[in-house]
Amino acid sequence: MKLSCWVTVVLMGLAAGPCWAKAQSPVSSAPGTPNWVLQNGVWVPVVVPGQVSPPARVAAMINFLKTGHPGRVVHLAKKWLRHHKKDPLVPQVLLLEGDAQNYLGNKYAALFPYEDLLDNFPASPLYEPCLMREYNIACAFLAGYKRRLLGMRILPVYGDAIRLLRRIQNRQRGSPLAELAGIRIADYYYQNDRFQRALASYTNFLRRYPYSQFAVKATVRKAECSLATFRGVRFDLTPLRNAQAELENIAELYPVLAAKMQVKALEERIYQIEGKRELEIARFYWRFNRPESAAYYYRRVIHGWPDTIWAQKARKEYARRFQQSKEKMP
């Protein structure tokens, strides 16, 4: 009696195997495809390319793409999607259409099926591969790829690339790909001398990914961008002070890197600039007949930056001007 029960259970398990596999597999097949094969721990249907079922047509598209016929894949994919809008293989076909457009060099056109997949099938196993494809397209846009206009590729798409990368960050927050997208945005602005935006982007990156593998790079470039946004001694010193704070942070956290960057030399440069600015303020007050204010800033330079050339100039000017104007020296 017990033996017969065990046999019954085994037979039921074998009968249910393909059905369970069908439920678990990311690939679905139409009725009339009874053969299944175990691949990488997942049961998938065996599709014969000569058949006319939806999975068979998808298999044919995959084969066409592998053999170098992307134009045919685009045509077949569009036709397939019109007739099988509810089929479980829709994400696969959308990815195939985008890959075929990309193969043809139509990177901008490839984004439409990719975006369709990402917007409507977030639970698909093809979601992450599709995001990676969009990241590669965004990098190509930033590298100089252009859209067609009147048959010629003359329209730059830098703005679209930045939007794509930001969308990737929002779609997969905290992922390695999101980190790549974030640092790529900041690097683009940095490499094109748009230091104000680069500074904001590196700051945002460090806020989002403080433990990223790119955190050191972002910290260093943030300091460099702060220095680059300083417009001169007659303007606001805030960027300079921000850079100084960043350099002190680098020296504390990464002493070896600080030595390579010559952080002490940069700090010395900032120190000299601050002294020069104070001297300019003293001269400004003297020109506008404000001797008391001028004297205050001259003394400030002399005592605050005693070992600099600006202190030497301040002493000479202070002595000459206040002696000529019969002002008492302190």
Domain range annotation of the chain: 15-46
More confidently predicted of 144 and 240: 144
Instruction: Report residue 213 as tokens.
Output: 């593998």
- What digits encode the pLDDT tens for the residues 49-67? 556 788 888 888 898 999 8
- What digits encode the pLDDT tens for the residues 224-240? 888 888 776 667 778 77
pLDDT of residue 199: 92
pLDDT of residue 186: 95
**Of 32-36, 198-202, 216-220, 240-244, highest mean pLDDT:** 198-202
- What digits encode the pLDDT tens for the residues 278-298? 888 888 888 888 888 888 888
Mean pLDDT of all residues belonging to the chain:
80
- What digits encode the pLDDT tens for the residues 95-114? 999 999 999 989 999 999 99
| pLDDT at residue 19 is higher than 50 | no
Torsion of CA 278, 282, 285, 291, to 10 degrees: 140
Distance in angstroms (rounded) separating the CA atoms of residues 156 and 241: 37
Listed in sequence order, the residues at least 6 apart from 114 whose beta carbon sits closer than 8 Å to its beta carbon are 94, 95, 98, 130, 133, 134, 137
Instruction: Give the mean pLDDT of 140-145.
Output: 89
